[in-house]
Structure 1
């Protein structure tokens, strides 16, 4: 819980532009991992 709160505060302190940038990077990595896992399933 404490770690998540500190991350939330960290994101809030950052400027909106960098905050959005980090959110997009996180979602891009998540989507990339999903597509890679789907590709592995297709190969198998």
Structure 2
């Protein structure tokens, strides 16, 4: 529930798939956005 909340807050999604004989596969996506330039940052 904690991971789902964090990922959803960032506009992403999370899911779990059952992988026979090896356990579970947890996958997630979050959108990639370009960071804004911080004032005073060098190029």
TM-score (norm 1): 0.23
**Which structure has greater helix proportion?**
1
TM-score (norm 2): 0.23
**Which structure has greater strand proportion?**
2
